[in-house]
C-alpha cells in the first residue's frame, strides 16, 4: 500500500466535496477547484474524510494512488487556507506596480513589462520590490510565480533580477582587475 495514498483526507468545516464520474469538486471559502482523476483510481467521500483507492499493485497504479491523494489534499487546503508565493526584486530602478489587469514591472528594459494575472490569482506589491502571488490552486500559484521570475531571472554577477523570497543566488567573481 502507498504510504501517502492510504492516508484519509480530512474535510474541514465549510468545505464541500463532490465526486461524480471521476471529477472531484472541492468548494470552500477561498473558491472552488475541479480536477479530473485517472480512470483506474477510486475516490469516495465517507463522513468527513476522502478515501483514495487503487485497483491493483501495478507500478502505475501505485504512482497514481499517491499522486491523486496529494492533489486532492492540496485542493482541500487551497480552498481553506490558500497558497502564497513571495518574490523579491533587486536592481536599481527595478520595481513592480499593481494595475487593474495585474502588474506593471520596470525591469531595466526600454519599456515597462505588463503581466496579466490569470483568473483566481491575486497579485499584490506592498513595496515596489516585493510581489505576493495568492490563490487557491497551488499549481497555478507556482506557475505564475515562475513566469514572473522568468521575466528577469537573477543574474550571477550583481544579483539583479526577480527571485523567490529566501532563494540563494550563486554569485560569480567577475573580471580580475588588470595585471
User: Could you tell me the CATH number of the domain that includes residue 23?
Assistant: 3.90.930.12
Instruction: Provide the pLDDT for residue 2.
Output: 63
95 belongs to a structural domain: yes
pLDDT tens track for 91-139: 999 999 999 999 999 999 999 999 999 999 999 999 999 999 999 999 9
Instruction: Provide the pLDDT for residue 130.
Output: 96
Region 59-77: mean pLDDT is 94
155 belongs to a structural domain: yes
For the chain, how many structural domains are there in total? 2
Sign, CA torsion 164/168/170/171: positive
Instruction: Provide the pLDDT for residue 179.
Output: 58
Q: Which of 52, 80, 108 is the last residue of a domain?
A: 80
% of the chain with per-residue pLDDT over 90: 89
Q: Which of 19, 54, 80 is the last residue of a domain?
A: 80
95 forms beta bridges with 106
Examine the domain organization and report whether 21 and 88 are in the same domain.
no
The three grid cell numbers given for residue 71, joined into one nine-digit string: 492533489
Instruction: Provide the pLDDT for residue 178.
Output: 60
Examine the domain organization and report whether 20 and 92 are in the same domain.
no
Range of the domain at 66: 9-80
Amino acid at each position: 500500500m502507498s504510504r501517502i495514498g492510504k492516508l484519509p483526507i480530512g474535510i474541514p468545516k465549510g468545505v464541500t466535496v463532490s465526486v461524480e464520474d471521476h471529477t472531484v469538486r472541492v468548494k470552500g471559502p477561498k473558491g472552488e477547484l475541479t480536477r479530473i482523476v485517472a480512470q483506474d483510481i477510486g475516490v469516495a467521500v465517507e463522513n468527513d474524510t476522502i478515501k483514495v483507492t487503487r485497483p491493483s499493485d501495478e507500478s502505475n497504479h501505485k504512482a497514481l494512488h499517491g499522486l491523486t491523494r496529494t492533489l486532492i489534499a492540496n485542493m482541500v487546503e487551497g480552498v481553506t487556507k490558500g497558497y502564497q508565493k513571495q518574490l523579491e526584486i533587486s536592481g536599481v530602478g527595478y520595481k513592480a506596480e499593481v494595475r487593474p489587469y495585474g502588474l506593471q514591472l520596470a525591469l531595466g528594459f526600454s519599456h515597462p513589462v505588463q503581466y496579466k494575472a490569470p483568473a483566481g490569482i491575486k497579485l499584490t506589491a506592498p513595496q515596489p520590490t516585493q510581489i505576493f502571488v495568492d490563490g487557491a490552486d497551488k499549481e497555478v500559484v507556482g506557475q505564475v510565480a515562475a513566469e514572473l521570475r522568468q521575466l528577469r531571472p537573477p543574474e550571477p554577477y550583481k544579483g539583479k533580477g526577480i527571485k523567490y523570497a529566501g532563494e540563494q543566488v550563486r554569485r560569480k567573481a567577475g573580471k580580475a582587475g588588470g595585471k
